A = this chain, B = another copy of it.
Amino acid sequence: MPSIEHIQYVKAPIEQVFAALTTQAGLAAVWTDNLSVTPEVGAINSFAFGSGKPDRMKVVELVPGRRQLWHCLDSDPEWIGTEISFDLEPRKGKVAVTLKQEKWRAVTEFYRFCNYNWGVFLLSLKGYCEDGKGIPYQDRKF
């Protein structure tokens, strides 16, 4: 099955990068400020973009400073059932962040647009962790 796979290197303490990816405040700055997040295994986080129904992501794994895995319960039909993982690893004074969205059924136009947007997500993560300023959905141009 097709997957989306990125890596980005962030110059910040690993705990800070992990918090940016797992907490309400972090994901508000990095992804969308219309969200409800609980950093606990089994929690169902929700993220809204524009006027559509919120995406709902179940937290399946959460290993502090190491890994987070979400299972997508609700979103665009192409996203439902996909798994989104964030793996962190110290690397030469930075944190290597590997982001994957796996179990796509096909490489479609929406896959390509999401692939682009995950790149912007990681740029936003880097900006937020290194300079205090992310690029959440509300600040992006489409």
Contact = CB atoms under 8 A, between A and B. Distances in A.
B126 A6 contact: no
Chain copies in complex: 2
A123 interface: yes
Nearest to A8: B116
A5 interface: yes
A4 B118 CA distance: 13
Nearest to A96: B109
B130 A6 contact: no
Interface of A: 4-9, 98, 107, 109, 111-113, 115-120, 122-123, 126, 130, 141-142
User: Top 5 closest A-B pairs, CB basis?
Assistant: A119-B119, A7-B112, A6-B116, A5-B112, A116-B119
